[in-house]
Chains A and B, each alone.
Chain A
Amino acid sequence: MNDAMGMPQTAVVVGGTSDIARAVLRALVARRLRRIVLVGRDEIGLATAVKELQAVGALEVETMTLDVTDVSRVGVVARDAATRLGQVDLVLVAAGVLGDQGSDEDDPEAVARVLTTNTTGPAAVMTAFATLLKNQGYGRIVVLSSVAGMRVRRSNYVYGASKAGLDGFAQGMAEALRGTGASLMIVRPGWVATRMTTGRDPAPFATTPDAVAADVVAGIERSAAVVFSPAPLRLVFGVLRLLPAVLWRRVPG
């Protein structure tokens, strides 16, 4: 069960090898999290994450393999994960790829792959778990979106559009979950130094997985609907969204 501060005891993570997801889990294990099901497609990465989480105090960590683009398996995996935990306090949806804008934008299959991995798959995952949580009568879905989806820009529009789609879907689902006991929180990090961004130039307001994790925990504690990480990005993107296109094109990052 979640406690008064929203701290979960059990969690399912889809995209269990994500640097941000693992940082969030470590932060939650330091509080109440004890039993975890990690879902992902990279078995070696999952095994590493298992060791890491057990080292910080998780009692039971299981893994399940799933490629979220295989949407036909999503429902089964969600039910299986829920059965293993008994009660699902938190679902962290962290599956995603950055893609390579330069080559992807002329490659129909690559574009479809990024959008399926980042939008279609996670939306299917969220749908499966939303049904479970509604029946269960409580539980929180935390979705890793991105500020890149706030206003999609030329330099990464494939990724940005995928996150914009996911973010919109999550906003709608959050409304749909009102009054069911379950809830949904959207996390919009800025540029985070992870494996995903290795070798790329940091954007302004660059942050780290642990800093994002701290913001996520704080967001849960205050029942936030949306968490920006770092927090000033809420204001920054609030302004950037309104900029005329002429100026928007000149914004660095």
Chain B
Amino acid sequence: MNVATAPDGVGISRRVLTGWGRTAPSACDVATVRSAEEIDQVLADAAEAGRSVVARGLARSYGDAAQCAGGIVVDTTAFDTVLEADLGTGLVRVGAGTSLDALMRAFVPRGWFVPVSPGTRYVTVGGAIASDIHGKNHHRDGSFCSHVTRLSLATPSGRVEVSPDDDADLFWATAGGMGLTGIVVDATLQMIPVQTASLRVDTERATNLDDCIARMTARDAEYRYSVAWIDCLARGSKMGRAVLTRGDHAGLEDVAPAGSEEALRFNPVVRAQVPVTPPSGLLNSVTVAAFNELWFRKAPWLRTGELQSIATFFHPLDGVGAWNRLYGPRGFVQYQFVVPFGAEDTLRDVVTQLSDRRMASFVTVLKRFGPGNPGPLSFPVEGWTLAFDLPVGPAALGPLLDRLDETVAGAGGRVYLAKDARLRPELLAAMYPRLPEWRATRNRVDPAGVFVSDLSRRLGFVSSPAPRLAPRRTRARAKTARAATQMNGSG
């Protein structure tokens, strides 16, 4: 396979890539771009050379969404420019490689916060759009793309500007489209105003999953942000015991006597780094059960109005660099699904299976989603979403997750493609029934199928997975039949 001629100034190097889960590595030709023009140029050259392309940001998707074995991966992280910012309205236009961390550092001190923050600040705006990420405020504010007013998309036929009003089909196909409709070049976001860099947080314990479900159902609406940490190893009457943390941005009066400037100070640091990859098995049912016990007991039964920093409330794991190494050299999978309200039995079923099988998830998180947006592949739909991490290696893991897929699909739910690294491909269409609609839009802008990722190949979701083999098989069979005849004749 030939490496595409590098456009002037754009370095291309072969690198073995994985997602955050560190599974399923593949070698890709990584092109590092620093501007919109370089993105256009790399894409044009790749398309001409007949190479497959996918964009990659900070590689926080857990599976194989941002890699393309043998193809070109456009690393956008060097294109992190703030192109326009209106501090009066909170509208900002930034390069696709801009991280939410950079956005917060630049705009929190000026009184603007990102409209949606996931569990890490280290995602790019391009990636946030491609995965249509959500945070703890989905029940209130929806997902990331609901706050994107406009984006510029590089496609094989050139650059297009799209918005919910201007080629809405392409805009929404890009929202959660896993980077397969084009490369997001820049995007305009509506930030939200904040008076401080702190949150006013209420923490409470729930004695089991049913208690947790009841508490969230009753009072989530009172909070902008809500999340429950679940002890997936607790058994019996404690099964699914949880710690709920809910809150909203603190007002100036909450942090008095701090002045406005001090109240908006935002400078989180990485406190520790996982220096090496420890052996597999460090996070097992014993160590995780011990951690869970501690974590649960450390939480108060009820505490209201505690002030927490943005980093503590939203991004606790960002304080530990490369925490994904903790799962050992084989990596881990994060399984996240959503089932509609009313399917609480499915939720109980899943938590019971994890508990019964002693599947030790280090981080298990339950949230409530509000209504979804128009994106045909956008993950969030109204209901319960549960996410958990499990290390790869144990033979029981694959079959367990396969069974969970069936359960989730049967309840009208779906798994999150940005987390996926192992879904049974046959279930994709059942989980994302609007896939044909999405494909139609994608084929309009990328008829030659330039945008390909390992995820799209694995799940076969951009086109038919492979050329038909039937004619050849017939030929092989005919030959075999002939051979059999000869054999019989000679026998």
Residues of A within 8 A of B (CB): 1-7, 9-10, 31-32, 35, 43-44, 46-47, 50, 60-65, 84-87, 134-138, 179-182, 217-218, 221-223
CB contacts (< 8 Å) of A10 on chain B: these are 466
CB contacts (< 8 Å) of A223 on chain B: these are 329-330
Q: Which 4 A-B pairs have the closest CB atoms?
A: A181-B27, A4-B421, A137-B69, A137-B27
For this complex, 10 residue pairs linking A to B, each with C-beta atoms less than 8 Å apart, are A4-B23, A5-B397, A44-B483, A47-B477, A47-B481, A64-B476, A87-B466, A179-B27, A221-B392, A221-B393
With contacts A221-B393, A223-B329 taken as known, whether A138 is within 8 angstroms of B480 at the C-beta atoms is no
Which of B23, B392, B425, B484 is the one whose CB lies under 8 Å from A47? B484
CB contacts (< 8 Å) of A64 on chain B: these are 476
User: A35 contacts B24, CB within 8 Å?
Assistant: no
User: A4 contacts B469, CB within 8 Å?
Assistant: no
A64 to chain B, nearest CB (A): 7
Which of B392, B402, B470, B476 is the one whose CB lies under 8 Å from A63? B476
User: B24 contacts A180, CB within 8 Å?
Assistant: no
CB proximity to A under 8 Å, residues B76-118 = none
User: B422 contacts A35, CB within 8 Å?
Assistant: no
User: A2 contacts B24, CB within 8 Å?
Assistant: yes
Contact with A along B362-381 (1 / 0, CB 8 A): 00000000000000000000
Q: Does B398 contact A (CB under 8 A)?
A: yes
User: B70 contacts A1, CB within 8 Å?
Assistant: no
User: A6 contacts B24, CB within 8 Å?
Assistant: yes
CB contacts (< 8 Å) of A61 on chain B: these are 473
User: A3 contacts B27, CB within 8 Å?
Assistant: no
B447 to chain A, nearest CB (A): 19
With contacts A4-B333, A35-B469 taken as known, whether A181 is within 8 angstroms of B458 at the C-beta atoms is no
Residues of B within 8 A of A (CB): 1, 16, 21, 23-28, 63-64, 69-71, 280, 329-331, 333, 392-395, 397-398, 402, 421-422, 424-425, 454, 457-458, 465-467, 469-470, 472-473, 476-477, 479-481, 483-484, 487
CB contacts (< 8 Å) of A222 on chain B: these are 280, 330, 392-393
B51 to chain A, nearest CB (A): 12
- The total number of A-B Cβ pairs within 8 Å is 120
CB contacts (< 8 Å) of A135 on chain B: these are 1, 70
> Chain A residue with minimal CB distance to B484?
A44
CB contacts (< 8 Å) of B280 on chain A: these are 222
CB contacts (< 8 Å) of A181 on chain B: these are 16, 25-27, 69
B242 to chain A, nearest CB (A): 27
> Chain A residue with minimal CB distance to B455?
A1
CB contacts (< 8 Å) of B23 on chain A: these are 3-5
Known A43-B480, A84-B469, A181-B25; further 12 A-B contacts with Cβ < 8 A: A4-B331, A44-B483, A61-B473, A63-B480, A64-B476, A87-B457, A138-B26, A181-B69, A182-B27, A221-B393, A221-B394, A223-B329
User: B392 contacts A136, CB within 8 Å?
Assistant: no
Bound-state Cα–Cα, A145 to B479, Å: 31
With contacts A3-B458, A4-B422, A61-B473 taken as known, whether A138 is within 8 angstroms of B25 at the C-beta atoms is yes
With contacts A35-B466, A47-B484 taken as known, whether A62 is within 8 angstroms of B472 at the C-beta atoms is yes
> Chain A residue with minimal CB distance to B423?
A3
B452 to chain A, nearest CB (A): 11
Bound-state Cα–Cα, A63 to B475, Å: 9
B263 to chain A, nearest CB (A): 43
User: A1 contacts B27, CB within 8 Å?
Assistant: no
CB contacts (< 8 Å) of B27 on chain A: these are 134, 137-138, 179-182
CB contacts (< 8 Å) of A137 on chain B: these are 26-28, 69-71
Bound-state Cα–Cα, A60 to B331, Å: 31
User: B477 contacts A5, CB within 8 Å?
Assistant: no
CB contacts (< 8 Å) of B479 on chain A: these are 43, 65
Which of A3, A46, A50, A179 is the one whose CB lies under 8 Å from B422? A3
> Chain B residue with minimal CB distance to A183?
B25
B1 to chain A, nearest CB (A): 4
CB contacts (< 8 Å) of A47 on chain B: these are 477, 480-481, 484
User: B398 contacts A5, CB within 8 Å?
Assistant: yes
A91 to chain B, nearest CB (A): 15
Bound-state Cα–Cα, A1 to B461, Å: 13
Bound-state Cα–Cα, A2 to B479, Å: 32
CB contacts (< 8 Å) of A6 on chain B: these are 24
Which of A5, A31, A179, A182 is the one whose CB lies under 8 Å from B392? A5
With contacts A1-B64, A181-B27 taken as known, whether A60 is within 8 angstroms of B473 at the C-beta atoms is yes
CB contacts (< 8 Å) of B21 on chain A: these are 4
> Chain A residue with minimal CB distance to B476?
A63
Bound-state Cα–Cα, A217 to B397, Å: 12
User: A31 contacts B330, CB within 8 Å?
Assistant: no
User: A1 contacts B24, CB within 8 Å?
Assistant: yes
CB contacts (< 8 Å) of B466 on chain A: these are 10, 35, 85-87
With contacts A47-B484, A63-B476, A136-B69 taken as known, whether A5 is within 8 angstroms of B422 at the C-beta atoms is yes
User: B469 contacts A1, CB within 8 Å?
Assistant: no
Which of B25, B71, B329, B398 is the one whose CB lies under 8 Å from A7? B398
Bound-state Cα–Cα, A159 to B266, Å: 69
User: B333 contacts A62, CB within 8 Å?
Assistant: no
With contacts A62-B469, A62-B472, A221-B392 taken as known, whether A4 is within 8 angstroms of B63 at the C-beta atoms is yes
